[in-house]
Structure 1
Amino acid sequence: MAKPLPAPFDKQKVVAENRRARFDYFVEDRLEAGIQLTGTEVKSLRQGEGSIAESYATVEGEEVWLINSHIPEYSHGNRLNHQPRRQRKLLLKGREIARLHGAITRQGLTLVPLSLYFNSSGRAKVELALARGKKVHDKRETVKERDWKREQQRLLRHNG
């Protein structure tokens, strides 16, 4: 019997999406994590600014960190403004952190952020994925499949 699909996360306002991650990695498992932000970072994200394109997450001891994510400085911030590319702590339960640490060390998986969003209660969340890197021939297959689906849609539109 097939494994049931997990319930999708409650994404109200998506701020940043890492579309390249689905091309570069096989996504094996997804989880939602809170993110520890300062006030000016939240205000900047609410304006729709931010990027997680080149970012990744790492487990260090009992903590998970989001590295290389870019949240630009808030335009009306003063001397208390934040650093745009600082490391940000991700908020997960201890059991989840232990599971991630085991998957990364034993199975050679990578923690990749897929999207940064606000949920229905207004909290900033990060959708993380345990992913396995694709080889060059896998990426070629993905491109072929995407082009074929696009061509199918085009044919259906004109001949359908």
Structure 2
Amino acid sequence: MNDSRYITYNSILLLAIFPLSLVGYYLAVNNEAMFVLYEWILAILVVSLLFLSFVGMVNIKTKQKWIMAAFLAFTIQFSALCLFLGPFTFYSAYYVYYGLAFVSLAIYLLTIRKVDRMRYIPISFTFLTTITILYMMVTQSLWGASF
């Protein structure tokens, strides 16, 4: 498989999260007993992204391997966010997420410096990571506050 195929497949799998989330919202509102189906499909999708990113990073020999490293870092950071929002809503999980997010940001900045093409991918990941860090900071500041 050539370099661009790995990047294309990862992009498609990552973009599949949006329609899957709409289905998850529908199931959470209208058929809560089936919400577990959404959770399992999302878990399979994230594991597939992790696997494909890692395999692509190992197999690609050009500078585009940094794009795959950015995909891998974003997927790990996204899984930490999903775990925090799901079953592991503990206060200490904030710091785990912050650590993973800052490591991911460092990988994105390295990727932007190293690659010549497709810089929009790590730039997009940087933007999304910044948004989620701000979200986590707001939820952390509201932790335990009663209005």
Q: TM-score, normalised by structure 2?
A: 0.24
Kindly indicate which of the two structures has a greater share of residues assigned to helix: 2
Larger Rg: 1
Higher relative contact order (CA 8 A, sep 6+): 1
Kindly indicate which of the two structures has a greater share of residues assigned to strand: 1
